[in-house]
Amino acid sequence: MRSLWPSNMRNWPASLSAVVIIAILLSVEVNSQATSRKGEEDPDSRPPLTRADLEIVQRAQEILDTPAKWNRADTRVCPPDAQTYSIYCALQKATVEVMGEFKHRGGAMQEMRFVIDEIAPNHDKYHHRLMDYNNDPTTTFEDVRKAFMLLEQRIVKQLSGGK
């Protein structure tokens, strides 16, 4: 049987199919990366909590254990040689010590944001929950300690199978 395609175009349908398949695969990969990035940027993302998150919270409480170590003027810039720490910087330092790297939307950081949403009377006015709660003139050091205690309790409860 004679082909309807000229000899120089006989492989064209196969080539077109290959191009279409590659385009679809690239589209899926781009969408997957965008979804992954959105999770990292989503202020309400809820990464699964792990034993490391509990260790991070416990270490952050050690870092920020006295009023003299509390930085009331957080800028979310955490110098490695700092002598005082905001909530954000204590969690950041603890995360690096426990995990070896910092993730802005890591489990302990995110869960602390949700604790603040529940306990801070002004939380709906906060642009950066950790920084703004830390810097809120109505927040006391006892409030900070209570937030860490509630955070630790939430993580322990979730790790033990409770919700």
Residues 56 and 34 in one domain: no
Q: Domain for residue 1, yes or no?
A: no
Number of domain units in the chain: 2
Residues 12 and 30 in one domain: yes
| Residues 97-126: tens digit of each pLDDT | 999 998 988 999 999 999 999 999 989 999
Q: Domain for residue 19, yes or no?
A: yes
Residues 27 and 60 in one domain: no
Buried b or exposed e, range 72-100, using 16+ CB within 10 angstroms: eebeeebeeeeebbbbbbbbbbbbbebbe
Q: Domain for residue 107, yes or no?
A: yes
Q: Say what the pTM is.
A: 0.74
| Residues 44-94: tens digit of each pLDDT | 888 999 999 999 999 999 999 999 999 999 999 999 999 999 999 999 999
Q: Domain for residue 18, yes or no?
A: yes
Q: Domain for residue 37, yes or no?
A: yes
> Residue 68 is part of which domain span?
51-159
Which is nearest to 114 in space by CA: 159, 151, 59? 151
pLDDT band at 16 (very low <50, low <70, confident <90, very high): low
Residues 108 and 82 in one domain: yes
